[in-house]
Amino acid sequence: MTQKKDAMNKPTSEKNYFWPIMILSFVAVVVILLLFFSPIGYQGKVDYDLTIFPRLNAIFNSFTFVFLLIALWAIIVKKNIKMHRGFILAAFTSTLFFLVSYLTFHYMSAETSTFSGEGIVRPIYFFILITHSFLAAVVVPLALFALVWGWTNQISKHKKIVRWTMPIWLYVSLTGVLVYLFMAPYY
């Protein structure tokens, strides 16, 4: 029994994933920035209401947030690695769906909406938006390293990085929903 448990805890790979993860993260951030801040995008007529995409983004972010909380509960309270991995994969999947929806919206939409809130709400919104955007870029490589190290049983590396990754990813997914709620009246 101990041999089986020891074999399960051995790293399945010591391969260095640094450059592939960093390149993938960099490309993802550059694509998002190009779609958001450049005139690249669909120039034709769109025959459907694009405002469904921000709502979908909020739904996917909500799922990500819930999946991450359940993954935390599964590993901390239940000590159930299989359940933890399942919900982490679910969080990655909903994040991937978010990314596809987000990129589709910004590719298809000729212009994005502008926040018109006033008073104390305005600086709160911009604080949330700026921290959300910055940390969304930061969490990409962190989450990928955490996933790879967890999956390859490099547990000490995994534990070190998830101390940062999990709170940041939870913050990003929650504030993604908040940004939508702030912006919903202006779509």
Determine, yes or no, domain membership for 29: no
- Record the tokens describing residue 83, joined without a space: 């359940």
CA atoms within 13 A on the CB side of 165: 23
Determine, yes or no, domain membership for 95: yes
The alpha carbon dihedral of 125, 73, 90, 88 has a sign of positive
Determine, yes or no, domain membership for 20: no
CB 94 within 8 A of CB 145: no
Determine, yes or no, domain membership for 36: no
- CA separation for the pair 34, 26 (Å, rounded): 12
> Domain count of the chain?
1
Q: What pLDDT sits at residue 43?
A: 75
Model confidence over 132-182: pLDDT tens digits?
999 999 999 999 999 999 999 999 999 999 999 999 999 999 999 999 999
Q: What is the largest CA-CA distance in the chain?
A: 64
Determine, yes or no, domain membership for 77: yes
Determine, yes or no, domain membership for 180: yes
3 state DSSP class of 172: helix
Determine, yes or no, domain membership for 6: no
Give the model's confidence band at 36: pLDDT under 50 very low, under 70 low, under 90 confident, else very high.
Answer: confident
Residue 30 clears pLDDT 60, i.e. is over it = yes
- Record the tokens describing residue 12, joined without a space: 């399945």
Average pLDDT of every residue of the chain:
91
Within 8 A by CB and 6+ apart from 186, the residues are: 113, 114, 115, 116
Q: What pLDDT sits at residue 4?
A: 52
Total-model pTM: 0.89
Model confidence over 105-123: pLDDT tens digits?
988 887 777 898 999 999 9
Determine, yes or no, domain membership for 60: yes
For residue 144, what are the domain limits? Answer: 49-186
Taking alpha carbons only, the member of 105, 117, 100 closest to residue 51 is: 105
